[in-house]
Amino acid sequence: QVQPVESGGGLVQAGGSLRLSCAASGRTFSNYAMGWFRQAPGKEREFVAAISWRGGSIDYADSVKGRFTISRDNAKNTVYLQMNSLKPEDTAVYYCAGTTTWSRQPATYGYWGQGTQVTVSS
């Protein structure tokens, strides 16, 4: 069981950068692959990036490849999402979640944070 808590969201101009952090409590943090998802108003929650249990495998949505970097530090029970070259279409609530199954599907992630708002202005 993990309890993710996201932070680092905010307002940024297009082309700028933000780093999101996901602090996940629990003694079994390393037993979970972690993912970042986002949801804009009126849209379905979509996959952004995932990182495997020890960080050896990484998966990105095509929309963020080359701009976003996911990483994790199991010693700190923390997952990060470095977001560069931000675009207005990146505006959404960003969620951190944990799963025991390697997947892009939100339904397979059983542990979710509260979300953090990212707003990119043009």
pLDDT tops 90 at residue 2 = no
Helix (H, G, I), strand (E, B) or coil at 1: coil
Distance CA 35, CA 59 (A): 9
Q: Is 107 helix (H, G, I), strand (E, B) or coil?
A: helix
Task: Give the residue among 44, 92, 41 at the shortest CA–CA distance from 64.
Answer: 92
With cut-offs at 50, 70 and 90, classify the pLDDT of residue 27. confident
Residue 8 has pLDDT above 90, yes or no: yes
Which value, to the nearest 10 degrees, does the dihedral of the CA atoms of residues 59, 64, 69, 71 take?
-40
- SS3 state at 110: coil
Question: Could you tell me which of 118, 2, 109, 102 has the C-alpha nearest to residue 64?
Answer: 118
Whether pLDDT at 20 is above 90: yes
